[in-house]
Homo-oligomer: A and B are copies of this chain.
Amino acid sequence: MTYRAPVEDYNFLFEHVVGLQGLRATERFAEATDDVTAAILGEAGKMCEEVLAPLQRVGDLQGSYLENGVVRTPPGYAEGFKAIAEGGWVGIAADPEYGGMGLPMALTTAVGEMMSGSCLSLQVAPMLSQGHIEALEHHASDALKEVFLPKLINGEWIGTMNLTEPQAGSDVGALSTKAEDNGDGTYAITGQKIFITWGDSDFSSNTCHLVLARLPDAPAGVKGISLFIVPKLLPDENGEPGVRNTLGVVSLEHKMGLHGSPTCVMQYDGAKGWLVGEKQGGMAAMFTMMNNARLGVGAQGVGVAEAAYQHAYAYALERKQGKTSAHAESQSIIGHADVRRMLASMKADVFASRAISVCNAVAIDMANATGDKAWKARAALLTPISKSFGTDTGILVADTGLQVHGGMGFIEEAGAAQFCRDVRITSIYEGTNGIQAMDLVARKMMDGGEAAMALLDEMEEEIEKAKEVFPNLASDVWEACESLREATEWMLSQTDMQDRFAGAVPYQRAFARVLGGHMHLKAALADRGGAREKLARFYILRLMPEYAALLVHAQAGAAGLFALTDEELAV
């Protein structure tokens, strides 16, 4: 199994599709010149190809396991993480004051995607550290920052997020973990957390947990939640790992995939922690970390999709079977129209989801660099779309890749099945794609649709220009935009939120489908007559039309759904 990092695609996207020029014009990211971004991509890509990709299969076969309360990781993972840390890839976007590179999220996203494509189960570790770091940067006191940030950023330590409890998953406000004031500036944390990714490892000298908990007399629900940093080993006066804290891994989950990544049940028994941010300000801090983690998870989907595509392409190019089309160059199965349809669909969706993901990252960067509210709103709007479309694409493309393999796809040795098993969690964690869709049609439309309409206006303006070059293609995308606009207006006009929620997932997918068409059109403009124009034609003419049916579903309302009683839904 080999993996080639999509460096060229990112260089193209940065230059022609997502407007990194604008970013480079800001003071904050002036140093992210095209030379710098190309160099970063090249270097990270090399590490992914050479160091991480070989860990993909061994991580699946051997998995992480618990031994006397310590997580043992698969062979090579320690070296893999070391390479990530030494490359500076944990702290790529982090504050230079604490050792970070201070680069744009656009690059974090690109590098995150490449690491995900080469070894998803290891990549989860730096991705969570990044969210952890960001939460500290925004909410922690300077004293905490000085102790924790440098070691998290240089990868000596690993950071996790602890939200979920057995009765508090999507409804995080239901959590019951307690925090009590020790009276010395620290707190005692007690409770059980589940689904804690990389809750421990044998290759970092400390693991720091950001834990959501409830102070005594805190109000019920999300308003009563505070955030604490709770390290496995308490830093001594020199900031080095010292006394063992009263927390531990109780067990690991037996999962469908992602075996290399330990998913821990964590027990806190009066463990010592420090408050991050304000009391009862836990959700705000958590959202900082979750929003970017959502973008990161979307990129995970894109990364696995890319890897699964490459894997299927290589198989299709090598495997000979049956008489191929007279149109075909090759006698291998890539010359069969249906296999080629699968490959082209995969490739077109990988590009669309990648472009949306980077577009989202650039909006975050622009918001950070300029403080502009419109960019902030754009970033917020795109987050559920890039998270859900990236992960849905990961799942779909991995599935199609398995199908390209025929019977071999079902055999684990072929490697196609692992992509399917690994990527399956991405549409669930960091907020299921259903939760993303509810976020999109409710919270992200509390501005009366301003952000959505501004994006549609901008898209249509660019599409208008494209009409001169590609009249038919551009018209298709323009019409799709108009349909999306109508559906958006319909959503906004629903006062009963259930009517929005009943069609939220189809709406979210339609939004991505249309946005993907726009991205492909921009790519086609930059590569007239070339491969990107051909791929854009494939996407716009064959895949994008799905939006129409999705928008019908999106606007069908809740009544017909709840007309079916619980009993009637039973067998």
**Is A243 an interface residue, CB under 8 A from the partner?**
no
Q: Bound complex: CA of A538 vs CA of B545, how far in Å?
A: 21
Could you say which residues of chain B place their CB within 8 Å of the CB of A313?
Answer: 569-571
Establish whether residues B562 and A552, one from each chain, have CB atoms under 8 Å apart when the complex forms.
no
Establish whether residues A325 and B498, one from each chain, have CB atoms under 8 Å apart when the complex forms.
yes
Establish whether residues B502 and A169, one from each chain, have CB atoms under 8 Å apart when the complex forms.
no
**Is A374 an interface residue, CB under 8 A from the partner?**
no
> Can you name the residue of chain B whose Cβ is closest to the Cβ of A504?
B338
Given known contacts A338-B437, A402-B424, A424-B402, A571 and B498 CB-to-CB distance under 8 angstroms? no
Q: Bound complex: CA of A272 vs CA of B51, how far in Å?
A: 52
Establish whether residues B434 and A571, one from each chain, have CB atoms under 8 Å apart when the complex forms.
no
Could you say which residues of chain B place their CB within 8 Å of the CB of A343?
Answer: 569
**Is A379 an interface residue, CB under 8 A from the partner?**
no
Q: Bound complex: CA of A501 vs CA of B534, how far in Å?
A: 19
**Is A548 an interface residue, CB under 8 A from the partner?**
yes
Could you say which residues of chain B place their CB within 8 Å of the CB of A334?
Answer: 566, 569
Establish whether residues A338 and B253, one from each chain, have CB atoms under 8 Å apart when the complex forms.
no
Establish whether residues A538 and B560, one from each chain, have CB atoms under 8 Å apart when the complex forms.
yes
Q: Which of A320, A425, A560, A562 has the most CB of B within 10 A?
A: A562
Which listed residue (B194, B403, B505) contacts A427, Cβ 8 A?
Answer: B403
Could you say which residues of chain B place their CB within 8 Å of the CB of A498?
Answer: 325-327, 337
Size class of the A contact interface (CB-based, 8 Å): 35 or more
Query: How close is A343's CB to chain B, nearest CB, in angstroms?
Result: 6
**Is A543 an interface residue, CB under 8 A from the partner?**
yes
Establish whether residues B322 and A171, one from each chain, have CB atoms under 8 Å apart when the complex forms.
yes
Q: Bound complex: CA of A321 vs CA of B326, how far in Å?
A: 56
**Is A339 an interface residue, CB under 8 A from the partner?**
yes
Q: Which of A334, A406, A503, A543 has the most CB of B within 10 A?
A: A406
Establish whether residues B434 and A407, one from each chain, have CB atoms under 8 Å apart when the complex forms.
no
Main secondary structure of the interface of A (DSSP, over half): helix
Q: Bound complex: CA of A498 vs CA of B534, how far in Å?
A: 18
Which listed residue (B171, B195, B320, B341) contacts A502, Cβ 8 A?
Answer: B341
Q: Which of A495-550 contact B (CB under 8 A)?
A: 498, 501-506, 531, 534-535, 537-538, 541-543, 545-549
Q: Bound complex: CA of A326 vs CA of B495, how far in Å?
A: 13
Query: How close is A338's CB to chain B, nearest CB, in angstroms?
Result: 4
**Is A556 an interface residue, CB under 8 A from the partner?**
yes
Query: How close is A45's CB to chain B, nearest CB, in angstroms?
Result: 11
Query: How close is A234's CB to chain B, nearest CB, in angstroms?
Result: 30
Stretch among A118-126, A127-135, A410-418, A449-457 lining the B interface: A410-418
Which listed residue (B9, B171, B337, B412) contacts A254, Cβ 8 A?
Answer: B412
11 contacts between A and B (CB under 8 A): A170-B321, A254-B412, A255-B411, A257-B410, A327-B558, A340-B502, A407-B429, A420-B424, A534-B564, A538-B564, A542-B556
**Contacts A334-B569, A339-B434, A537-B563 supplied; 16 other A-B pairs, CB < 8 Å:** A6-B571, A195-B407, A313-B569, A313-B571, A327-B559, A327-B562, A329-B566, A337-B561, A338-B504, A340-B561, A344-B564, A395-B399, A402-B424, A403-B432, A417-B424, A545-B549
